Amino acid sequence: MQDVAQLAGVSVKTVSNVVNGYPYIRPATRARVEEAIVELGYRLNVSARNLRQGRTGMIGLAVPELSQPYFAELADLVIQAGEDAGVTVLIEQTGAQRVRELEVLHGERRQMTDGLIFSPLALGEEDRTEFAVHYPLVLLGERIFRGPADHVTMANVEAAYAATRRLIELGRRRIAVIGAHPGETVGSAGLRVVGYERALTEAGLPLDPALMGPVVAWHRSTGADAMERLLAAGTPIDAVFALNDAMALGALRALSARGVRVPQDVAVIGFDDVDDARYSSPSLSTVAPGRLQIARTAVELLMARIADPAPGRPFVEVVADFEIIERESTGSAVAAST
Amino acid sequence: MQDVAQLAGVSVKTVSNVVNGYPYIRPATRARVEEAIVELGYRLNVSARNLRQGRTGMIGLAVPELSQPYFAELADLVIQAGEDAGVTVLIEQTGAQRVRELEVLHGERRQMTDGLIFSPLALGEEDRTEFAVHYPLVLLGERIFRGPADHVTMANVEAAYAATRRLIELGRRRIAVIGAHPGETVGSAGLRVVGYERALTEAGLPLDPALMGPVVAWHRSTGADAMERLLAAGTPIDAVFALNDAMALGALRALSARGVRVPQDVAVIGFDDVDDARYSSPSLSTVAPGRLQIARTAVELLMARIADPAPGRPFVEVVADFEIIERESTGSAVAAST
């Protein structure tokens, strides 16, 4: 701090004020101090500590697609949680390709980070040995359960059940599901369809294949296409559960383009609670899957493994809390709610 | 290839088929080959070549915010362009904080990448010496022009002029602008307001301060707030030019919540052409700023600098081509267009 103060030509107290985010500092002074801090590589002694401990001060976050709002917003939260924990987060995108997911796990770049938070989409249960790596690893998502790593996941079945049940409580009986992967019982699609079917069965409603909108990649465009196919097929539908918000927003668009009123004719609920969901017209009801909790827990678990990498500590599985967010698309919120 | 074939227990021809994306291969065979490839660190000899040339095979991309759809979609395109060029892209988020932007430029992690594509938001003209670095660097954005690095930017003034002019051609006279940074003549906000004002002046329309919706951070929420303030102030408005799509989507929401019809009462145009713009109701007219061209050009320029790092080669400034995309929010597109 004294070196920084000397270089910036200010008092140690001023340096301390800048570092601690004290508000009343002249912008020019703040800039001088900040530049001196960088120049001296002060950075709260993080670098020196990392060097002593053989660390890089960086962690990796590997996700399938940043153009998916869910992953972009998750990355943002992981970066913030990393910053709070004193580490820089480097983001890697796999495109859900198997080779690139294997490279994320085993490639050279793992030598550059102290640990990895990884949301796989191509690798699954049959690849569990791939995840037995020699560095701290936290898994996200629904591809591997009780694998050889700490794991943060969502209550997929329960949340999908709650979303579908809410539609049933609102009097809907012909509830389509968009985003199903027919035949799959694992992964986000499989688990969420299990919850959907459980709610229908419990309510004595039939599982009608005509209500299934299969979609491979979960984008706005594919959601719109699936909705258009369902409408074109003429199957009576009074509600839609889209397995993510991107598809739900695409479905809203397809319904609006056809003049179908939401929620009067068809109620729509999504999954993810991405930022867009609050600003669509009508605003989108959805499942908030505990994204902030997922990001913070993942970073906490990883930092704990980095601090104590001794093998033998049992792996932890954390299931985030979810919440049903009701907005205009299910007709159950105040009209002007944003 | 022979080692891969041996390890996977398949022919060299089969390895070649997998590597070249040949479709008719049994999934199990493909998986075996892919795992063998990763295990042997084959990766098309990229690693070995990098090692010989003292390279890491990785480039950095530093952007302000991944939760901004514009930057998330840009990152996705840069990653794809990097993949085509045989390099992995590591993403860094600065949060538009000055200290973190300086660290992106001068921090230790620059030793881990062969070059950097950087979209600064806090650093500007007064910091141009900071950008005179000793590694390949390509700048994006509107903060530094003719700086000590290659630069890919947008035609901000011209594109904003064209967007505003289109609203005038459609008969609009009271055109509000959302996202202005009053007093700034640089950066995206400053340059786009220059284009907006030029179009108004040329058409003989007054520059009315009551039409200015100042917004610091360009998000959906701040766009909705600015629109609400403009509506609450009672200023007559028949069009809105939002300086990015996120704010435009927020403004659409605020207009819809107040029962203002778009485009009948108020036409809206944004800037960025993010994916959401096609799926809102009404769909959003916008400026497509050449994002794909920006991503590809940035990677090409960077790879050229990496291949030939000799100093003295003059720096290049590329201005991407833009296009006005007309959708429902300006009333000039077919109703069901997605």
pLDDT single digits (tens) B68-89: 899 999 999 999 999 999 898 9
| Residue from A38, A37, A11, A39 nearest A25 by CA | A11
Round to whole Å and give the CA distance between B271 and A160.
36
A56-154+290-307: CATH class: alpha beta
Question: To which residue do tokens 């050229």 refer?
Answer: B304
Question: To which residue do tokens 């990001």 refer?
Answer: A295
* Interface residue A279 vs chain B (CB under 8 A): yes
**Distance, in angstroms, between A103 CA and closest chain B CA?**
7
Residues in a beta bridge with B151: B139, B317
pLDDT at B338 (0 to 100): 38
Q: Which of residues 216-255 of B touch A (CB under 8 A)?
A: 219-221, 224, 249-250, 252-254
CB contact under 8 A, B279 and A58: no
Q: Which residues from A are below 8 Å from B67, CB to CB?
A: 72-73, 75-76, 275
Best to test chain A binding among B77, B83, B279, B284 (most A CBs inside 10 Å): B279
Q: For residue A282, give the amino acid letter.
A: P
pLDDT at B330 (0 to 100): 97
Rounded to 5 degrees, φ, ψ at A159 are -70, -40
* Interface residue A207 vs chain B (CB under 8 A): no
Round to whole Å and give the CA distance between A118 and A101.
9
CB contact under 8 A, B256 and A281: yes
Once rounded to an integer, what is the mean pLDDT over residues B241-248? Answer: 97
Of B90, B280, B338, the CB nearest to A91: B90
The superfamily in CATH containing domain B156-288+325-330 is: Response regulator (3.40.50.2300)
Give every residue of chain A whose pLDDT is below 70, as ranges: 41-53, 332-338
On the question of pLDDT at B63 being above 60, the answer is yes
Q: Which residues from A are below 8 Å from B279, CB to CB?
A: 220-221, 224, 249-250, 252-253
Structural contact between residues B216 and B222, judged by C-beta atoms closer than 8 angstroms: yes
Structural contact between residues B285 and B332, judged by C-beta atoms closer than 8 angstroms: yes
On the question of pLDDT at B318 being above 80, the answer is yes
Please, which residues have CB within 8 angstroms of residue B243's CB and are 6 or more apart in sequence?
B160, B177, B178, B179, B180, B188, B189, B192, B193, B215, B218, B271
Tally of residues, chain A: 338
Q: Which residues from A are below 8 Å from B99, CB to CB?
A: 34, 37-38
- The domain limits of chain A are 2-41, 56-154+290-307, 156-288+325-330
DSSP A234: T
Question: To which residue do tokens 């959708």 refer?
Answer: B327
Helix (H, G, I), strand (E, B) or coil at A85: coil
Residue B335 binned pLDDT confidence (cut-offs 50, 70, 90): very low
Round to whole Å and give the CA distance between A330 and A315.
39
Q: Which of B14-28, B231-245, B268-282 bottoms out in mean pLDDT, i.e. has the lowest?
A: B14-28
Q: For residue A309, give the amino acid letter.
A: P
B58-154+290-307: CATH class: alpha beta
Say which residue, A276 or B183, is predicted with more confidence. Answer: A276
pLDDT at A164 (0 to 100): 98
Once rounded to an integer, what is the mean pLDDT over residues B183-194? Answer: 90
pLDDT at B332 (0 to 100): 63
pLDDT at A42 (0 to 100): 47
Alpha-helix residue ranges (DSSP H) falling in A64-114 = 69-84, 98-106
pLDDT at A185 (0 to 100): 79
pLDDT at B42 (0 to 100): 47
Hey, do A56-154+290-307 and A156-288+325-330 end up sharing a CATH topology, with the first three levels equal? Answer: yes
pLDDT at A24 (0 to 100): 80
